């Protein structure tokens, strides 16, 4: 019986377990996870802080998942050393786990820049349920009224909304000139920033937090922050939400090739036979850029884990690729951003835009050689699924261009042969 070992038990790891069991019902599976309860939805941790959801509601699989799938679940354990020659993974208890097929699905860890005072009580990151639990407990313990969130990307906006729902006054600090700058262009960013401000959030762009200052009566606890230009902002909490970096430390000193993340092929295998990687730690194929890169997205981690699991169990399955893809709803404004939604100025791109300021609606499609390579929709996301199909299948939309951003665009707009393909899932 093959021995499968999976390091990491979030989206990619769980998906890999299910894929392996589809193909191999008897091979032994060992899962190693630092979290005691890893089978929850990380995108929902903001709902935990806001009080909208508890851990039970956040679980993506029930507590019997491991037993049902005959998995030896080593939860609350950390993988510390990988020995490729011995084919073993050592965990922090000192035990060594033998493998025949290994999946690294360790995800990412928060990026925390060097800041004086970052070790003070009241400074948090925001990537796991334990982070959310600590933040929620701290708010209650000190009756927090103010918070500073560092970083106005997806994580930063998410935690900001949760804190606002808890009644805190939030200051959002972003080094870039615009919020959500990685997924939105300046015009779309301004729409969201106005909505955020209307919710009572103070936004500070083009600056960062230089120093976290203690309270006058207790220097060990957060009291304020000092910004780049010298302004001090009183606060009870500081949330560092700048982003994540791949957790590749397990591979240190091994022959597994890494760049920013672990380099994998279209079967999620590394350069070392029988060693696979998927999820936020892996550099996988982007079908828009036609190259491998990091894409730390929950749906792609789930898909990548499934592909890895199939291939580990002997069912050869290629990964068709993903791309940058964000579908979210912050402060009651739905947003979808996919692919090269905000490309640098380049004459080879054609950009279609429709903006209705009165309705806060913004639609944008980026084309290259009459093929959709990027799109952004704010407050009007109904047609995004059809457009994504056109993008993924590299359909030439030259004849459809006048219709793409109109209210009437839909399935009926498409040529009959294309509609038939979509209906049968080709």
Residues 103 and 252 in one domain: yes
Residues 231 and 255 in one domain: no
pLDDT over 70 (residue 425): no
End-to-end CA distance of the chain: 36
Q: CATH code at 413?
A: 3.30.390.30
Does residue 350 lie within any of the structural domains? yes
Residues 190 and 252 in one domain: no
pLDDT digits (tens, 9 = 90+) for 261-275: 999 999 999 999 999
Average pLDDT for residues 76-83, to the nearest whole number? 96
Does residue 326 lie within any of the structural domains? no
Residues 207 and 229 in one domain: yes
Residue 8: pLDDT band (50, 70, 90) is very high
Which residues neighbour 237 within 8 Å (Cβ) at sequence distance 6 or greater? 122, 123, 124, 135, 138, 139, 144, 146, 147, 148, 163, 168, 222
Distance of alpha carbon 104 from the chain centroid: 17
Residue 399, burial from CB neighbour count under 10 angstroms (0-12, 13-18, 19+): exposed
Average pLDDT for residues 195-202, to the nearest whole number? 96
Does residue 117 lie within any of the structural domains? no
Does residue 98 lie within any of the structural domains? yes
Strands (E), 175-268: 202-205, 209-215, 218-227, 232-234, 237-240, 244-246, 262-263
Does residue 113 lie within any of the structural domains? no
Residues 221 and 127 in one domain: yes
Write out the residue range of the structural domain in which residue 149 sits.
Answer: 123-242
Does residue 181 lie within any of the structural domains? yes
Report the number of distinct structural domains present in the chain.
3
Residue 411: pLDDT band (50, 70, 90) is confident
pLDDT digits (tens, 9 = 90+) for 200-255: 999 999 999 999 999 999 999 999 999 999 999 999 999 999 999 999 999 999 99
Residues 235 and 254 in one domain: no
Residues 128 and 236 in one domain: yes
Residues 280 and 344 in one domain: no
Site of tokens 């997205």: 297
242, 270, 299 - which closes a domain: 242
Residues 307 and 365 in one domain: no
Q: What pLDDT is attached to residue 1?
A: 58
Residues 238 and 250 in one domain: no
Average pLDDT for residues 277-301, to the nearest whole number? 95
pLDDT over 70 (residue 426): no
What does the CA dihedral 311, 108, 192, 161 come to, rounded to 10 degrees?
Answer: 110
283, 312, 341 - which closes a domain: 312
Distance CA 56, CA 52 (A): 12
Percent of the chain clearing pLDDT 90 (strictly above): 88
Does residue 325 lie within any of the structural domains? no
242, 272, 300 - which closes a domain: 242
Residues 382 and 404 in one domain: yes
Q: CATH code at 197?
A: 3.50.50.60
Q: What is the DSSP letter of 237?
A: E
pLDDT digits (tens, 9 = 90+) for 382-403: 989 999 999 999 999 999 999 9
DSSP secondary structure string for all residues of 105-124: ---EEE-----BTTTSBTEE
Does residue 307 lie within any of the structural domains? yes
């Amino acid at each position: 019986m093959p021995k499968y070992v999976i390091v990491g038990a979030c989206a990619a790891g769980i998906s890999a377990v299910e894929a392996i069991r589809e193909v191999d019902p008897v091979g032994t599976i060992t899962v190693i996870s630092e979290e005691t309860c890893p089978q929850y939805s990380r995108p929902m941790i903001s709902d935990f802080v806001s009080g909208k959801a508890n851990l039970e509601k956040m679980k993506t699989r029930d507590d019997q998942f491991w037993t049902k799938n005959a998995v030896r679940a080593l939860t609350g354990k950390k993988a510390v050393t990988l020995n490729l020659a011995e084919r073993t993974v050592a965990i922090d208890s000192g035990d060594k786990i033998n493998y025949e097929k290994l999946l690294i699905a360790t995800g990412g860890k928060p990026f925390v820049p060097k800041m004086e005072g970052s070790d003070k009580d009241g400074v948090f990151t925001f990537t796991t349920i334990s982070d959310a639990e600590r933040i929620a407990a701290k708010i209650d313990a000190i009756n927090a009224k103010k918070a500073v969130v560092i970083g106005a990307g997806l994580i930063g906006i998410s935690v900001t909304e949760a804190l606002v729902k808890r009644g805190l006054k939030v200051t959002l600090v972003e080094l870039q000139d615009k919020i959500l700058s990685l997924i939105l262009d300046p015009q779309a960013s301004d729409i969201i920033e106005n909505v955020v401000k209307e919710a009572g959030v103070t936004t500070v762009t083009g600056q960062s937090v230089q120093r976290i200052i203690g309270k006058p009566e207790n220097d060990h606890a957060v009291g304020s922050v000092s910004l780049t230009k010298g302004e001090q902002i009183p606060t009870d909490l500081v949330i560092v939400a700048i982003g994540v970096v791949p957790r590749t430390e397990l591979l240190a000193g091994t022959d597994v090739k890494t760049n920013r993340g672990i380099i994998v092929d279209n079967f999620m295998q590394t350069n070392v036979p029988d060693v696979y990687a998927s999820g936020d730690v892996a550099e996988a194929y982007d079908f828009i850029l036609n190259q491998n890169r990091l894409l730390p997205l929950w749906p792609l981690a789930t898909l990548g884990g499934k592909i890895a699991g199939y291939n580990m169990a002997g069912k050869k399955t290629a990964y068709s690729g993903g791309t940058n893809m964000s579908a979210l709803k912050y402060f009651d404004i739905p947003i979808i951003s996919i692919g090269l939604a905000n490309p640098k100025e380049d004459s080879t791109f054609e950009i279609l835009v429709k903006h209705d300021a009165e309705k806060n609606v913004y639609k944008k499609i980026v084309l290259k050689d009459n093929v959709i390579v990027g799109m952004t929709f704010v407050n009007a996301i109904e047609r995004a699924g059809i457009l994504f199909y056109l993008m993924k299948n590299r359909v030439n939309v030259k004849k459809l261009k006048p219709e793409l951003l109109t209210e009437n665009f839909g399935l009926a707009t498409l040529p009959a042969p294309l509609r038939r393909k979509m209906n049968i899932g080709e």
